[in-house]
Amino acid sequence: MSSVNGVILLGATTVSSAGLLRVAECIFVGSTKFLSSALLYFSGSVALEGGAQWRVEGNSVAVASVLNIPYSWQKIQLSGSGTTVALAHNRQVDSRMRLFKVLLANTIVEPPARFVVGCNLQGDEEVSYDDVFPEEVVVFRCGTCNEDAACYMPGTESVDRSSCTCSCKDGWHGASCLPLRCLTRLCCPQRREP
């Protein structure tokens, strides 16, 4: 995909009742002509509640950010049990831009909701999350297993932390225990090493 922005969330967006918003396994070029070029661009706010999941994982961007939330009035607000945001295993090839353009004030996490971030790379180096996300955000490093990043927890029976694999409940599918059956190459993530 090549454009200024890949996915744009317009206005106020709400994901609820165990809903799933997923941007995964994309290759996005972006544009050097625009400083706001991003795979996922907010032009409003998003609220996740009631067990909703937002997963941005396994993406590769060139001259773009993975996530851009440009203004302080735009928010990511999480609330409710099982509600999770996971930003994991993304790679930025060209490090001229920040991988995540987010202000600390943009992110509001109301426990028991969870926001997990980890194993995101600029080139071959893992990025620092200092001054990007608030302290409520759980950070994990490459080579470690984070259950919320590895598995869609509403559909997960158990997690083998040594191999970072998910065992799904009946009716849930794929390596991450998603709520839908799909062809592996089209939409279900492949098992990746922690």
In angstroms and rounded to an integer, the radius of gyration of the C-alpha atoms of the chain is 16
> Residue 80 pLDDT more than 80?
yes
Separation between Cα atoms, residue 33 and residue 22, nearest integer Å: 27
pLDDT in tens, 115-143: 999 999 999 999 999 888 888 999 999 99
Separation between Cα atoms, residue 131 and residue 103, nearest integer Å: 8
What is the mean pLDDT of the segment spanning 173-189? 67
Residue listed under structure tokens 């980890």: 118
pLDDT in tens, 31-61: 766 667 889 988 889 999 998 989 999 999 9
Backbone CA torsion sign across 140, 45, 92, 2:
positive
Separation between Cα atoms, residue 88 and residue 55, nearest integer Å: 8
The pair of three-digit structure tokens given for residue 11, joined into one six-digit string: 């206005």
- What burial letters (b/e) apply to 127-155, b meaning 16+ CB within 10 Å? bebeebbeeebbbbeeeebbbbbbbbbbb
pLDDT in tens, 9-29: 888 989 888 788 888 889 888
Cross-strand bridge partners of residue 161: none
Pairing state of beta strands 165-168 and 156-160?
Answer: antiparallel
The H or E element containing residue 92 is strand 91-92
The pair of three-digit structure tokens given for residue 153, joined into one six-digit string: 């927890």
**pTM of this structure:** 0.85
